[in-house]
Amino acid sequence: MRRIDAIFAAERDSNGLPPERRLAVRRHAIAPLLADLETWMRAIRAKMSRHAEAAKAIDYMLRRWETFSRFLDDGRICLSNNAAERALRGVALGRKAWLFAGSDRGGKRAAAIYSLIVTAKLNDVDPRAWLADVLGRIADHPASPGARCERTAMPATIGIAMRNFTRYPALPHPRALVDCGVWVEQLGFESLWVRDHVLLGTDPHFPIVDSLTMLTAVVARTRRIRLGTGVLVLPLRNPLLLAEQLATLDLLAEGRLILGMASGWYKREFDAVGVPFDQRGKIMDRNLDIMTRLWTEPEVTAEIGPDNMRQSVMFPKPASRPRPTILIGAYVDAVLKRAGQSGDGWLTYFYTPEGFVRSWQKVCDFAKLGGKDPAKLQNGNQLPIMVGPSREAVQEQMMQWLHTEWDFASWSESTTDSAIMGTPAECVEQLRMHERVGIQRIVLVPYRYERAQIETIAREILPHFQRT
């Protein structure tokens, strides 16, 4: 509170000043205070249990830090939202009058329009004139000034996640998981995805069976379903050994392998393996380079990091040409750049359609800057789902599961708001929203991996997304 009080005290000195002078005061007096607050919050958060109430509040703020600190770049923006809250007081008092919205979706749209109207009034703009002007111009306005990621209007493919990790004392059963892989192929799912860690968690910890061993076993008993890693922690592995292992797996799968890869986030795991955590981005770029060259070149002579390759020949090559599809798991801009330029696209985790669009556009822009065609990029989104009598009937159960067995990185837009919940028809419509914004591959994470949930999804939802 002392840190926050100091920020507001400094802001009071700029009250009444023109925007340019207020911005100068903020950058001189408030920016250092805000940087100190962020450093302190991240340090304190690292020491907290993820279930602590204070941790949830800190995560909420850190996830929105860029938005919160925007007042440092624009002297017209208020430090607090008090003015907005006062303007919205009438909405709360008259909330019964908003029943015309008819649904949660209608309510969100009505709220967006109301926000525009009130914002116009707060800035002495006639909202009717403003809206008329905007609606008159919008039809000819490009959707984005950057590279557009256009794709053929086809249904998104629907895959399913395998439960190859559990919350202790439950343990994953490899043979049962292989049987499950055969079963979901029979149900008609397009793909099956495994998680990847060496170690995960302490209290509780999460037992996990090896991702690539599981895929190899499933490959031997399936013929059609595609098999993916969501995601493989690439810096933890020797790139030459992994390149050979994945080439062999892709040959066994006859080209069905999809490689979701990421640089990792769990420092304890890196320390145990002996890989420097703070170098994981550089190691990943290096490993990607080595593996791609071994897969695509007849002979490699190069010294890349600690790997001294002299006339290194790796045959046979993967069945997929020029290499298996590589989707990079990414949140921050530096890694989104890797997805657009070094990978074949982007695989994300628990993103809403709105959050996906913001980051996907960055991936496309980075691809164009790197000389790649954004239209050829691929993408995917992993989404939790629970089918039931209604959204309201299942929401409490779903949220309890998500908050106890899943992590949501504070520096990302992954959120429980992405959860698909409700009747089959409601779930189809929610998934359509992801499809409409350009998501090509949806990987569903069924509630507690219950067999009944998977059967219902296959019977009631999957037919709406099958390609003809």
Instruction: Quickly count: other Cβ atoms within 10 Å of residue 180's Cβ.
Output: 20
Confidence of residue 411 (pLDDT cuts 50, 70, 90): confident
Per-residue pLDDT for 148 more than 60? Answer: no
49-66 tens-digit pLDDT: 767 888 888 888 888 888
> Tokens standing for 370?
């790197």
Residue matched to tokens 């998104």:
156
Confidence of residue 144 (pLDDT cuts 50, 70, 90): very low
The closest of 189, 92, 112 to 457, measured between CA atoms, is 189
- Is 158:462 a contact under the CB 8 Å cutoff? yes
Distance of CA 140 to the CA centre of its chain: 31
pLDDT, position 156? 94
Going by their DSSP bridges, the two strands 307-312 and 325-329 should be labelled as unpaired
Confidence of residue 300 (pLDDT cuts 50, 70, 90): very high
pLDDT, position 97? 60
Q: How far apart are the first and last CA of the chain?
A: 59
149-203 tens-digit pLDDT: 655 456 899 999 999 999 999 999 999 999 999 999 999 999 999 999 999 999 8
Name the amino acid, one letter, at 208. Answer: I
Per-residue pLDDT for 451 more than 90? Answer: yes
Which residues are CB-contacts of 151 (< 8 A; sequence separation ≥ 6)?
Answer: 375, 438, 440
pLDDT, position 145? 46
418: three-class secondary structure by DSSP: helix
Mean pLDDT lowest for which of 54-58, 202-206, 332-336, 349-353?
Answer: 54-58
**Quick one: average pLDDT of 22-27?**
89
> Tokens standing for 361?
């556009």
| Segment holding 429, helix H or strand E | helix 424-436
pLDDT, position 122? 72
Can you point out the beta strands (E) in 323-440? Answer: 325-329, 345-349, 378-387, 420-422
Mean pLDDT lowest for which of 1-10, 319-328, 392-401?
Answer: 1-10
How far apart (Å, rounded) are the C-alpha atoms in residues 365 and 147? Answer: 5
pLDDT, position 139? 53
Q: How far is CA 61 from CA 36, 69, 186, 403, in A?
A: 15, 10, 44, 17
Confidence of residue 253 (pLDDT cuts 50, 70, 90): very high
pLDDT, position 115? 78
Confidence of residue 138 (pLDDT cuts 50, 70, 90): low
pLDDT, position 11? 87
pLDDT, position 362? 96
Q: What is the DSSP string of 267-333?
A: HHHHHHHT--GGGHHHHHHHHHHHHHHHHH-S-EEEEETTEEEEEE---SPPSSSSS-EEEEE--SH
431-442 tens-digit pLDDT: 999 999 999 999
pLDDT, position 141? 53
pLDDT, position 60? 84
Tell me the CB-side half-sphere exposure of residue 284, using CA atoms within 13 A: 26
pLDDT, position 92? 59
Confidence of residue 464 (pLDDT cuts 50, 70, 90): very high
pLDDT, position 154? 63
Could you tell me the pTM of the whole model? 0.71
Per-residue pLDDT for 283 more than 60? Answer: yes
Residue matched to tokens 């420092």:
267
Domain architecture of the chain: domains with CATH: 2-138 (no CATH), 157-465 (3.20.20.30)
Mean pLDDT lowest for which of 128-142, 196-210, 292-306, 341-355?
Answer: 128-142
How far apart (Å, rounded) are the C-alpha atoms in residues 44 and 33? Answer: 16
pLDDT, position 125? 83
Confidence of residue 95 (pLDDT cuts 50, 70, 90): low
